Chains A and B, each alone.
Chain A
Amino acid sequence: MATYIIRRTLQSIPILFGVALVSFAIIQLAPGSPIDRFRTPNVRPETLENLIRLYGLDQPVHIQFVNWITAFVQFWNVEAWGYSLVDGRSVRDTLVDRMPATLLLGGTALLVTIIFAVPIGILAAVRQYSWADKAITTFATIGYAIPSFLLGLYIAYLGTVVFRGLFPGFGMVSLPGTEGRGTPLDVAWHMVLPVTSLAIQQIAGWSRYVRAKMLEVLNQDYVRTAKAKGLSAAKVTYKHALRNALIPVITLFGLTLPGLLSGAVITETIFSWPGLGLLGVTAVTQRDYPVVLAFVMVGGFGVVMGNLLADILYGVVDPRIKY
C-alpha cells in the first residue's frame, strides 16, 4: 500500500506538469496583455517598454514558462506565485487566506449531500417504482437539469425575498457593527443558502447514483443468500447490500473533492462567498494573470489529488483490491 501511494504520487508529477503547460498556454493565447491596463495616453511608451522588461514579457515564450514554473514550485516562498496585479498582495497568501472559506462551504455541502443522498438513494432503490421513488426521481431530474447559476438565484430569492431576509443572501459574516458578527452561529447562518444551493445539485446526482448501485446490488446472488440465512430485511439491505453499493460511490467522492478545493465558482459568486471560486472569477474579469494561473493550478492539483484519494480508498473498502 505504501509503495502504491508513493508510486501514484510520483506519477502525478508529470500530470501536474501537463496541467501547468496547458494552463500557461491558455493564458498566453488569451487576447490582451498584463500591461494593457497601463496603456493610457498619459503613459509614455518608454515606461511601457520598461514594464514589459520588468515582467519578463520580452523573453521568448518557453523562457517565460520555465521562469514561471521554477518559481511556482517553490510554494514555500511568499513570492513564489508572484504578486497580484490588482492589489499587489502575494498570490500565495491570498489563496491561503481564501482557502478556509471554500473548504468550509464545500465540506459542509459534501457532508449534507452524503447525509441526504445515501438514504434517499436507498429508499428509491428498495421501494423501486413506488410514489417515493417517483418523487425522488422527479426531484433528481430537476435538480440535475437546472443550471447552478439559476438554482443559486432562485435560492437567494427564496431566502431573502420570499422569506423576507430569514437567511442572508451574501457574504460569510454580518455587516460590520452587527452584534455577534463573525461568531460560528453567524457564519452558519450565512452558510444556509449557499450550502443548500450546492447540496441540492449534488444530492440530485448522488442519489441517482446510489439508487442505481443499490438496485444492481439488490439483485446479486449474495443478497439472496443473506435472505436465505434468515436475516431481517434491514440487515440484508444495510449490511449486505449497502456495503457493496457504496464502494463505487467513492468514485463520486473523488470527483467532488477538486470542487471542494478550488471552490464552487458560480455559487460563491452568487452569494459573494469570500472563497477561492469568487477569487478566481474576480481575477479572470480583472485579468489578474498571476492569480488566475495559481487558481487554475490549485484546481488541477485538486483533481489529481481527488483521483489519488479515491483510488487509495478503493483499496481500503474493497477487499478484492490489493495494491
Chain B
Amino acid sequence: MTARHVGPLLEIKGIKTHFFTQDGVVKAVDDVTFEIGHGQTLGVVGESGCGKSITSLSVMRLIERPGKIVAGEIRLNGENLLDKTDADMRDIRGDQVSMIFQEPMTSLNPVFTCGDQIAEAVQQHTAVSRREAMDRAVEMLRVVGIPDPKRRAAEHPHQLSGGMRQRVMIAMALSTDPDLLIADEPTTALDVTIQAQILEVMRDLREKNRMAIMLITHDLGVVAEMADEVVVMYAGKVVERADVRTVFGSPHHPYTQGLLLSIPRLDERRERLEVIKGTVPSPLNLPEGCLFKRRCPHRMRVCDTAPPYQEVGSGHFSRCWLTPAGEAPDVGADAEGEEAQHAAEQLTVGAR
C-alpha cells in the first residue's frame, strides 16, 4: 500500500446480498453496516443462517449464483471492492484479505502437499521463485506452531489431524501478510483443547502482524476471548453492535440478552439453561416489522413496524424499539403505521 488510508480498514455500508431462488428471494444479508479498524478484531455473532458467513463471502466477493450483492459498498482502505474488476479482486483475495474456513478437514486440496498449497498462495501474490515460496511456506508452518515443518510441508493433508490442518489453513492465509483475516468459524469443527490452541495462534499473529480479524462465530466464549467489538446478526440484519464489554455487560437487544442467557455459567447455580423460544423465521417468510418479535419476551404493538437502529449508548447500537434504558418507548408502545414509521426514522437518523 502506498498512501495509507485514514479511517477504518474495512467499511461495510448497507450491503444487501440476496439469493434469487425458485421459491423466491432470500435476503440472506439485508442492509448490513459495520466497520473494522486497523489491527482490530470484530466478532460477528449469530445463529446458523443469520447471514454472517454470507457477509464474509460478500467481502471476498465469493458469492455464487443464484446469490448477488444487490446494494451497498464494501470499502477496503477506502476503495470500494464492489467496483473492482474480477482481476483486481483476485489480487486482493488472499493478499490483502485472507480467509479461513470452518471445515479444516475438507478445506485443503487432498491431492497437493500442504507446502505446495501454501507456496501457491505466496507465488500468486509475490514475485518469488518456487524455492523461495516453498521456504516461506515452511517458515509459516513453523510460525503457526507445527513441529517439524519441513517434513509436514511435504505431506498431504490427509496425513495431518484437524487441528494441524487448521494451522495449515492459517499459515496459508497469513503467508501474504494480509491486512484483514476473515475467520469463518475457525474453531467450530475442532475439539476444545485444539480450539484454545488455534485461538492462541491467531491472537499471537494478530499482535505480531498488526492484522485486523473479522471473526465469525456462534461461540460467545470465543468472542469474549478474542474480539474488541461485536456485531450481533439476526435474520440477515445487524441487531446490535458495541464493544465487547458492553455486549457482555449490558446488552440492549432482547436477542443478544437471550444469547447470553443461554450460555452455561460456572458462577451461578441454575437448574435449567434459558433458551430463546421459537426458531429463526424462514428467510422466505419473514415477519413484518421486527424480525425477532415472534420470539421476543418484550413484544409490543409497535414491533409490527420495523424498529429503529438507534444509538443506545456511546458506540452502542441496537435495532429495537426499547429505550436505551430498556423500557417501552415514549412514542407509545402501541403506535402503528405511519406514526411508528416516522418515529423509527427519527431514532435511526439520530443514531447515524
Q: For window 196-248 of chain A, which residues contact chain B by CB distance below 8 Å?
A: 220-222, 224-232, 240, 243-244, 247
Indicate which residue in A224, A228, A231, A319 contacts B110 across the interface (CB closer than 8 Å): A319
Stretch at the interface among B31-39, B92-100, B262-270, B282-290: B92-100
Report if A230-B103 is in contact (Cβ < 8 Å); known contacts: A222-B108, A225-B109, A319-B111: no
| B156 contacts A by Cβ under 8 Å | yes
| A272-323 contacts to B (CB < 8 Å) | 317-320
Overall SS of chain A's interface? helix
> Would you call A230 and B109 a contact (CB within 8 A)?
no
CA distance A28 to B91 in the complex (A): 72
Set of chain B residues within 8 Å of A317, measured between Cβ atoms: 111
Cβ–Cβ contact B107 & A229, under 8 A: no
Give chain A nearest CB distance to B249 CB in angstroms.
35
Shortest CB-to-CB span from B14 to chain A, Å, is 24
Is B158 part of the contact surface with A, judged by Cβ < 8 Å? yes
Bound CA–CA A319/B169 (angstroms): 19
Chain A residues contacting B110 (CB-CB under 8 Å) are: 222, 244, 318-320
- Measured between beta carbons, the chain B residues less than 8 angstroms from A229 are 93-94, 120-121, 124, 172
Contact partner, B62, options A220, A221, A227, A320, Cβ 8 Å: A227
In the complex, per-residue mask of A42-69: 1 if CB is within 8 Å of any chain B CB, else 0: 0000000000000000000000000000
CB-CB < 8 A to A320: which residues of B?
Answer: 110, 156, 158
Residues from 87 to 119 in B contacting A, C-beta threshold 8 Å: 90-95, 98-99, 101, 103, 106-112
CA distance A318 to B112 in the complex (A): 10
CA distance A320 to B105 in the complex (A): 13
B150 at the interface (CB under 8 A from A): no
Min Cβ gap B89→A in Å is 8
Q: How many residues of B contact A (CB 8 A)?
A: 27
- Verify A225–B124 contact, CB threshold 8 A: no
B60 within 8 A of A: yes
Report the Cα distance A39→B322, complex, angstroms: 108
Size of interface on A: residues with Cβ below 8 Å to B? 20
Q: Which residues of A contact B93 (CB under 8 A)?
A: 227-230
- The answer to whether A230 touches B125 (Cβ under 8 A) is yes
Q: Which of B144-164 contact A (CB under 8 A)?
A: 156, 158
Whether A222 and B109, one on each chain, are in contact in the complex, defined by CB atoms closer than 8 angstroms, is yes
> In the complex, what distance in Å separates the CA atom of A225 from the CA atom of B124?
14
* Total A-B Cβ pairs within 8 A: 68
Chain B residues with Cβ under 8 A from A244's Cβ? 109-111
In the complex, which residues of chain A have a beta carbon less than 8 angstroms from the beta carbon of B124?
229-231
Indicate which residue in B91, B106, B120 contacts A220 across the interface (CB closer than 8 Å). B106
In the assembled complex, the Cα of A317 lies from the Cα of B121 at a distance in Å of 23
Residues facing A in B25-66 (CB within 8 A) are: 60, 62
Contact A228 B94 (CB under 8 A): yes
- Chain B residue contacts of A231, Cβ below 8 A: 90, 94, 120, 124
Chain A nearest CB: distance from B183 CB in Å? 12
Q: Which residue of the partner chain, among A224, A230, A232, contacts B101 with CB atoms under 8 Å?
A: A224
User: Do B92 and A240 touch (CB < 8 A)?
Assistant: no
Q: How far, in angstroms, from A317 to B111 measured CA to CA in the complex? A: 8
A232 to B88, CA, bound (A): 11
- Give chain B interface residues in 72-91, CB to chain A under 8 Å: 90-91
In B172-212, which residues have CB < 8 Å from any A CB? 172
Question: Which of A221, A230, A232 has a CB less than 8 Å from the CB of B106?
Answer: A221
Chain B neighbourhood of A228, CB < 8 A? 60, 62, 93-94, 98-99, 101
- Some 25 contacts from A to B, beta carbons below 8 A apart, are A221-B106, A221-B107, A222-B110, A224-B62, A224-B107, A225-B107, A225-B108, A225-B169, A227-B62, A228-B62, A228-B93, A229-B93, A229-B120, A229-B124, A230-B90, A230-B124, A230-B125, A231-B120, A240-B109, A243-B111, A244-B110, A244-B111, A247-B111, A318-B110, A319-B156
Beyond known contacts A224-B101, A229-B93, A230-B93: 16 more, CB 8 A cutoff: A220-B106, A221-B101, A221-B103, A225-B108, A225-B109, A225-B172, A227-B62, A228-B99, A230-B94, A230-B121, A231-B120, A244-B110, A247-B111, A318-B110, A320-B110, A320-B158
A positions within 8 Å CB-CB of B: 220-222, 224-232, 240, 243-244, 247, 317-320
Residues of B near any A CB (own CB < 8 A):
60, 62, 90-95, 98-99, 101, 103, 106-112, 120-121, 124-125, 156, 158, 169, 172
